[in-house]
Amino acid sequence: ITLLAAGFYSLLRLLILWRRIGALGRVARLASWLLVMVGVGIALGAVQLVPLFELVSTSFREGSASYDQVVGWAWPVRQIITFLLPDFFGNPSHHGWFDPYIGAWR
């Protein structure tokens, strides 16, 4: 998502620059440098990502858990607010917490 946002921002800035100076050659040169930077970033990342893809295809964990099992291990949706406010429902070290599903303190 960050790369997409940076790409849209760069494209917008290039369009603004093109409208301001009117010289397509300079804008094309800047755009080519941006593409070179993206290419170098992909090449640097490929050093780690290519072996990862090979490992994933030969891993003993492949197929050991179904998608439904993995989703079953997920944190309940009603607890999402605890990512921002960890003690929103209480602190287990104080031996009291609020369960919003049943609406009671435990």
- Percent of the chain exceeding pLDDT 90 equals 13
**Could you report the per-residue pLDDT of 12-35, keeping only the tens digit for each?**
988 888 888 888 888 888 889 888
* pLDDT, position 95: 66
Position 97 scores a pLDDT of: 67
Q: In the chain, what are the domain boundaries?
A: 1-63, 75-106
| The residue to which tokens 């050991």 are assigned | 64
User: How many C-beta atoms lie closer than 10 Å to residue 27's C-beta?
Assistant: 19
- The reported pTM is 0.47
Average pLDDT value for residue range 83-106 = 75
CA 79/CA 102 separation, integer angstroms: 13
Q: What was the pLDDT predicted at 43?
A: 94
DSSP state of 106: -
68-94 pLDDT, tens digit per residue, is 888 888 888 888 888 888 878 777 676
Residue 45 structure tokens: 């990342």
